[in-house]
Amino acid sequence: MGGKMITTFIAITTSLSFYFLSTPPKSHYHLLFISPPFSDNTSISNHLFTLTRRPHLAGTEANAEAASYVLSTLSSNNIKSHLSEYAVLLTYPNSRSLTLIRPTPDPPITFTLRQETYDGDPYADVADQVEPTFHAYAKSGTVKGHVAYVNYGRVEDYKTIKDLGINISGAIVLARYGEIYRGDIVENAYDAGAIGVLIYTDRQDYGGGGGGARWFPEEKWMPPSGVQVGSVFNGAGDPTTPGWPSVEGCERLSDDDVEKGGDVPLITSLPISGADGEEILKCIGGVVADEEWQGDKDAPVYRIGPGPGIIDLTYKAKQVISTIQNVIGIIEGAEEPDRFVILGNHRDAWTFGAVDPNSGTAVLLEVAERFQKLQKEGWKPRRSIIFCNWDAEEYGLIGSTEWVEENREMLASKVVAYLNVDIAVSGAGFEASATPQLDQLIIQATKQVKDPDNSSQTVYESWVQTTDYPKIGRLGGGGSDYSAFVQHIGVPSTDISFGGGYPVYHSMYDDFVWMSKFGDPMFRRHVAAASIWGLVALKLADDEILPFNYDSYVYELQTSAEDLEIELSDSKGISLVPLFKSIEKMRTAAIQINNEIKEIKEKRNKRWASKSLALIWKEKEDEAWKAREMNDRLMMAERALTDREGLPGRPWYKHLIYAPSKHNDYGSKCFPGIDDAIEIAKAHNTQESWNSVQHEIWRVSRVVTQASLVLRAQLT
């Protein structure tokens, strides 16, 4: 019997020895992932060309065909995939008209509201499939009134107008794109008493600044007839199912209840071209706007009005409950299949969408193809990797929000991180945003990938040339599909891209021609985006201990609290002591878990140095539970920064550290509840309003303390 046991032990240790010696480390596969044989710019360009052959707005047949293409590509790469469908409220234009009534003797101008094709346009034959220019969820109606110019339509712009003694109540306002979310432009106009809104694309911001500048297709700039369309919905998800998924047979709000909810506009709006906006500006008199409100040197003088020009605007929408399709693909983890690393990108586009969003979709498919190549080499991820290709993002983050709401509890307990790419490439220069514990992981990945525009250096080296330290933004804005993950359920997240804003955004000219001429002619930036995105995913999926660093979070909280202290320096009776104390607790917790991670790694190195297979096997088994428990703490600390009641007046937004600015959905605010309360208190200056500021400070302090307890795994 004893001899059999010895023989068995020798067999086990021999097989273990063979396993450990023959199985490459995970880092081997990570290096393969970014090696030239694995990356393929031709494949990416082919994917993008196929995805952008036709306009594919959410709810259309063309977008369903694009979903089938994504599904088949994932499936052909041995990724188990399926469609996740929802029935949601979408709106489309039914009819539109816009007339400018000019002072006599000039005749009225009725605008065509049409984006023009150009000579040799390869997409001219499908241009009629582009929906007429409109704002999704804009209120139907007919309005007529004097027109007033309000610059970018920000709260501060209306304050300037009010300080000048100009009354725009009852007017139709003309605002230009470029600073805040269009839905906030409409809401701010309503708050100021306007009865309608026109939003145009100013040549100074999108047209090359005049001075003989040419536009697409000769140059990258927006043509004079180009129009930036988009949504004016200020919420997230299907407006008829706020907080619950739009599944078959679900409860839905009525149209009246949706309007009472406050997230859909209460006045009519329409997007217009730069050429049409300039015609209207010529008919506005009154006070000359300040220099910073003016256009380029070739533009007319911008005046505020109102009038004497009169706008006659009619917009009628059709509302449809449409089926949208998320494509979900899963590579199951070999050791921790119940822990998820999610890569997400949306597919639907206002028109052709070569930049927004299908540069990201093409990159998503490239990552999937590279992962399949790794699997053929023997790689198996430790944790499950999930590919999510969202639908109806452009209407209001609908596909991702409905999926998160339907799977909320499972996701809240199992998701390690969410990695978003919306626009993968719009030009040169790497950009990133993240929840702070993932900052170092992004930096590490950029140090391993060559700069697509200068192969003699890495993306990181190029990045730091533009700033003293890599600038990583935060995910407080509502601009893409990370919103439901970060702001609703508290999942650590990232968002990366190459290039910033681009001139033909949300217009008919965002097509494959623009991308291949101006955005990324050689598709090398797409390849680099895939490499960085995939490397971050691989580290999160494969590292035994999650590569999170909460020191960065503590620094971010401390800096934001100090900024808040300066802002409140003249406010009597407001104490930030609870907030600073909670941050100190989190600092202590971060130090503790860093020490624990260091201890585990030192033990592992010592174990391997011993060369005792029996010891390796025993201690590996003993430590497995410890690593799992530590990873759960690292993962769940972000969840602790949410509050079930959400932000005041905005209960869907649960995260008390990061959420959109109340008056700019694209903006990112740290401590958004405190910021909103301060704005109200400054406006009303009552004891009750300042008490609300203090209450919000206490709320943030409590969630930061909770995060500290989670990191320390300590019961009180």
Tokens of 609: 């140095």
Q: Label the pairing between strands 135-136 and 141-149.
A: unpaired
Phi/psi for 202 (5° steps) reads -75, 135
Report the alpha-carbon distance of residue 713 to residue 611 in Å, rounded.
Answer: 33
Residue 548 region by backbone torsions, left for phi larger than 0, else alpha for psi between -120 and 50, else beta: beta
Residue 498 C-beta-side C-alpha neighbours within 13 Å: 30
Of 171, 183, 321, residue with least CA distance to 241: 321
Three-class SS of residue 86?
strand
Of 615, 246, 540, 163, residue with least CA distance to 385: 540
Phi/psi for 60 (5° steps) reads -100, 160
Do the Cβ atoms of 661 and 674 come closer than 8 Å? no
H or E stretch covering 481: none
Q: Which of 187, 279, 369, 393 is catalytic?
A: 393
DSSP per residue over 30-75, as a string? HHHHTSTTT--HHHHHHHHHHHTSS---TTSHHHHHHHHHHHHHHH
Phi/psi for 88 (5° steps) reads -130, 160
| Burial environment of residue 99 by CB neighbours within 10 A (0 to 12, 13 to 18, 19 or more) | middle
DSSP H stretches of helix in 227-313: 255-260, 274-281
Residue type, 137: Y
> Tokens 């199985």, residue?
23
Other residues' Cβ atoms within 10 Å of the Cβ of residue 655: 27
Tokens of 555: 């620094």
Do the Cβ atoms of 227 and 507 come closer than 8 Å? yes
Do the Cβ atoms of 251 and 244 come closer than 8 Å? yes
Tokens of 611: 């060369």
Residue 279: active-site member: no
Active site residues: 393
